[in-house]
Amino acid sequence: MDDNVHMTGVMLAKEADARRGELQRERQVPGDLFQRAKNAGRIQQLICKELGGLGMSAVEWFRTGVEMARWEPSFAWVITQGAADHAVYVAAGDQAFVSFFLADANAYSSSSVNGAGTLLPEGDGYRLDGRWGFCSGCQGATWVGGEAVLARTEDQEVPEKLMALIPIERARIEETWDVMGMIGTGSHTVVVEAQHIPAAWAFRLSQFGPRDYGPMSVAAGLADCDIYSRSATRNIAEGTRRRCGSGARQGRKGRQRAADRQCACAAPADANRGCLVGGERWGRTGLDQDVAGCRAEPPAAH
pLDDT band at 221 (very low <50, low <70, confident <90, very high): very low
Helix (H) or strand (E) holding 11: helix 3-18
pLDDT one-digit tens code per residue, 204-217:
987 554 443 332 23
pLDDT at 282: 33
Contact 149, 125 (CB under 8 A): no
pTM of the model: 0.74
**DSSP 8-state code for residue 273:** G
Nearest to 202 by CA among 262, 283, 125: 125
Domain boundaries, the chain: 3-105+209-273, 109-203
Tell me the residue type at 262: Q
Q: What is the pLDDT of residue 286?
A: 32
Decide which of 1 and 190 is more confident.
190
HSE-up of 108 (CA within 13 Å, CB side)?
25
Burial of 270 (0-12, 13-18, 19+ CB in 10 A): middle
State the pLDDT at residue 162.
Answer: 96
- Give the Cα separation of 209 and 84 in Å (integer): 19
Neighbours of 235 (CB within 10 A): 13
Q: Minimum mean pLDDT among 36-45, 173-182, 208-217, 253-262: which range? A: 208-217
Mean pLDDT confidence for 87-107: 92
Q: What is the mean pLDDT of residues 213-235?
A: 43
- The stretch 55-59 carries a mean pLDDT of 90
pLDDT at residue 236 tops 60: no
Q: Which residues, including other chains, have CB under 8 Å from residue 96's CB and lie 6 or more apart?
A: 198, 200
For residue 163, the SS3 value is: strand
Nearest 5°: CA angle at 52, between 15 and 89?
A: 85
Can you tell me the distance from the alpha carbon of 92 to that of 108, in angstroms, rounded to the nearest whole number? 15
Q: Which residue has the higher pLDDT, 159 or 238?
A: 159
The CATH number, out of the four listed (3.40.50.2000, 2.40.128.120, 2.40.110.10, 3.40.50.1950), of the domain defined by the range 109-203:
2.40.110.10
Q: Say which amino acid occupies 81.
A: Q
**pLDDT value at residue 217:** 36
Helix, strand, or coil here: 199?
Answer: helix
Indicate the range of 66-70, 93-97, 144-148, 257-261 predicted with least confidence.
257-261
Q: How far apart (Å, rounded) are the C-alpha atoms in residues 225 and 302? A: 14
The confidence band for 270, taking pLDDT boundaries of 50, 70 and 90, is very low
